[in-house]
Amino acid sequence: MMKRKALDLWVGVFVAIGLGALLFLALKVGDLASFSATAETYLVKANFDNIGGLKKRAPVKSAGVVVGRVEDIAFDTETFEATVAFSIDKRYEFPKDTSAKILTAGLLGEQYIGLSAGGDTTKLKNGDKLKITQSAVVLENLISQFLFNKAADGNKDSK
Amino acid sequence: MRPLRFWRCPFVPTKPATDNLVEVENVNFAYDSRQILKGVNLAIGRGQVVAIMGLSGCGKTTLLRLIGGALRPTQGEVRVGGKAVAKLSHDELFALRRRMGMLFQFGALFTDMSCYDNVAFQMREHTDLPDELIDDLVLMKLQAVGLRGAHRLMPSELSGGMARRVALARTTALDPMLIMYDEPFAGLDPVSMGVIGQLIRRLNDSLGATSIIVTHDVAEALQLVDYVYFMSDGVIITQGTPDELRVSDKPFVHQFVHGEMDGPMPFHYPADDYGRDLDARGAS
Amino acid sequence: MNAVTGFLERLGGRVTSAIHRLGFASRFLLLTLQNSGMSFRRFSLVVREIYFAGVLSLIIILVSGLFVGMVLGLQGYDTLVRYGSSSALGVLVALSLVRELGPVVAGLLFASRAGSAITAEIGLMKATEQLAAMEMMAVDPIARVIAPRFWAGVISMPLLAAMFSAMGVFGGYLVGVRMIGVDEGSFWSQMQDAVDFQEDILNGVIKSVVFGIAVTWIAVFEGYDAPPTAEGVSGATTRTVVTSSLTILALDFMLTAFMFRGA
């Protein structure tokens, strides 16, 4: 019977350490603490010509701080543009003329949406659409543009 | 005071027409096309101590398993207390088993618990008895087999004979009406053999139970039992009281009882002609 | 020609007997689940088995986790520093552990330590007729012996995998930040950015639960089915470790393909 108590103690310690490890992983290693999944959000839409490599659950940042997540990416068959729906934490209110850009973290990193606040006094509501957007920079276009410029310079020089 | 429930689901034997507790009628049993029992008939009266003897592989242990409900006969019926064992429902079978005790060869004590816990096992599982009462009962049972002082030991710390005795205490924990012994004397020194034999008799008589002993230890068995069934190759070839068997002139019984080297059970394993064998090997 | 037909016959025989065994094992699992009532009503039985399966595996899991994490730190740094991305070391260590190494290696270690112990224990109980004795005493051995061990394994595995991953991250931190000198801030911040709770950690936990079920199922089944002899039990113990390890690796592939496709 004495052994029972020691046994229970060790099992309790074991389970406690296990749950502690899980908690450590969730909070310190993962991103559970930084963006709470239970935070209240409101949904905003924006159209882009090209979303590049943007994925669902990509972060939405403003001034470098994560304020939301991309929820849905759809293709509009009327305007042939990409419609991105993303949620913003209810704590952060943005003016109606906020612009959205698709940026890359680092040179070759993940893509995210960057919001730049405008100056309008009316704030964005759930379901609103952003008017000003800038598509992702597609590397191939950039290279071909660069080459084209180079070729144009070359022609100008030889003239 | 809350009424104590002793049995969760009582097994009530039907009113016996005869005073036989166990009846085996024309039982055949085959395992994977191997016929082990070929038409066995026996009856064991209440209060008797009966031995079932025979060589290894004659079907003695299978018979015990059939009585305990672990196996079903392919033909025939096994009745305990008037009820056919094979036809019992799951709950009824478990109720029957609570009134039976079986002592396995070498004891089969649970190695991860002490002797005390082993004996207390059935009481804790099947009854609502309070701990103090269980404590008294366990110590009483161990006292009856002479091992009350060893109750704290683990089975690995016991000698063979001691382990067998603790197992005996465990078997009788719930005062069973039928006790079965599978080779209780196997591998014991003469003193322990005598002790076990006496305990079997004493427990049977004091509990008013019926005992079935499966063994091939002739000397001990004949001293101790009321009746003997002799099996060979799946059938009962002879039966009688120990005295009758001692003077039996049936060749097989005679060879068995007197431990003769040669008889119906041949000494030599089937082989070729001796002379030819020696010559053939010498040549190569 | 005879050799070929003989070989094919034996191969066919082995395949059919393997399928037979799988069927028997599945029915056994079903029986275990059906008889799990006692495990939950008398949870102390399960607690006792968690001690033997989980607590006694703690040391090997924690030490192995630490070493695996430290090696990841060393090797990871060696490769990342070539691309100037040594600050991503935390990401490398954390994702490798949480997604794959934690569940898989902890599962393999659990199979060899606890799985083989369970198989040996049950096999020996069968060989010494303890299970038959229990049945004759009207106590169902599956409810009292098998089911508690099964649930103890299923509960212990995810906890052990989490501990393994946590120790591994700590080991990577020790080597990367303390020993080599990677920036502590970027080690943790990049890690937190890259490791997603739902995608990575939760999936890792799901994997470890699946592995726990598989390993413990194999362990209790092999023990229950072992021939009641010394060679029988030793063969069953070996089979537990081998079959569990292969099953973990195969399941890992299937789960990874299912969970992480396209991400």
How do residues A96-125 score in pLDDT, each as one tens digit?
Answer: 888 898 888 776 667 888 988 888 888 888
Whole-number Å distance between alpha carbons of A94 and B43: 95
Residue B13 clears pLDDT 80, i.e. is over it: no
Nearest-Cα residue of chain C relative to residue B167: C133
Comparing A159 with C189, the larger pLDDT belongs to C189
Chains that touch C (3 or more CB pairs under 8 A): A, B
pLDDT, mean over chain B: 84
How do residues B102-113 score in pLDDT, each as one tens digit?
Answer: 999 888 999 989
How far C229 CA lies from chain A's nearest CA (Å)?
31
Nearest-Cα residue of chain C relative to residue A8: C47
How do residues B39-69 score in pLDDT, each as one tens digit?
Answer: 888 888 888 999 998 877 778 888 888 888 8
pLDDT at B4: 47
Decide: residue C123, CB within 10 A, 0-12 exposed, 13-18 middle, 19+ buried: buried
CB contact under 8 A, C136 and B98: no
Comparing C123 with B34, the larger pLDDT belongs to C123
CB contact under 8 A, A29 and C98: yes
pLDDT at B283: 56
How far C125 CA lies from chain A's nearest CA (Å)?
22
Whole-number Å distance between alpha carbons of C143 and B19: 37
Whole-number Å distance between alpha carbons of A130 and A115: 10
CA dihedral C64, C154, C47, C159 (to 10 degrees): 40
> Among partner residues C47, C158, C200, which is closest to A30 by beta-carbon distance?
C200
How do residues A1-38 score in pLDDT, each as one tens digit?
Answer: 446 788 889 999 999 999 999 988 888 766 665 555 56
Q: What angle do CA A132, A114, A82 make, to 5 degrees?
A: 55
Element (H, E) at B227: strand B227-232
- Pick the closest to residue C252 from C218, C203, C216, C219 (CA basis): C203
**Most confident listed range (B36-40, B113-117, B144-148, C107-111):** C107-111
How far C187 CA lies from chain B's nearest CA (Å)?
49
The runs of H, that is alpha helices, within chain C are 2-34, 37-41, 43-53, 58-80, 89-95, 102-110, 116-127, 130-136, 141, 147-173, 184-194, 203-225, 230-259
Q: How many CB pairs lie under 8 A apart between chains B and C?
A: 44
> Among partner residues B95, B108, B126, which is closest to C130 by beta-carbon distance?
B108
Residue B135: which pLDDT band, with cuts at 50, 70 and 90?
very high
Residue C143 clears pLDDT 90, i.e. is over it: yes
How do residues B213-268 score in pLDDT, each as one tens digit?
Answer: 998 888 888 888 999 998 888 888 888 888 888 887 777 777 777 777 777 776 77
Whole-number Å distance between alpha carbons of B20 and A35: 79
How do residues C77-136 score in pLDDT, each as one tens digit?
Answer: 999 989 888 888 999 999 999 999 999 999 999 999 999 999 999 999 999 999 999 988
Q: How many CB pairs lie under 8 A apart between chains A and C?
A: 86
How far C4 CA lies from chain B's nearest CA (Å)?
30
pLDDT at A134: 84
Residue B15 clears pLDDT 50, i.e. is over it: no
Strands A129-130 and A41-48: what pairing?
A: parallel
Residue B29 clears pLDDT 90, i.e. is over it: no
Nearest-Cα residue of chain A relative to residue C166: A21
Q: Where are the domains of chain C?
A: 35-259
Walk across the sheet containing A132-134 and list its strands.
A129-130, A41-48, A81-89, A65-76, A59-62, A111-116, A99-104, A132-134
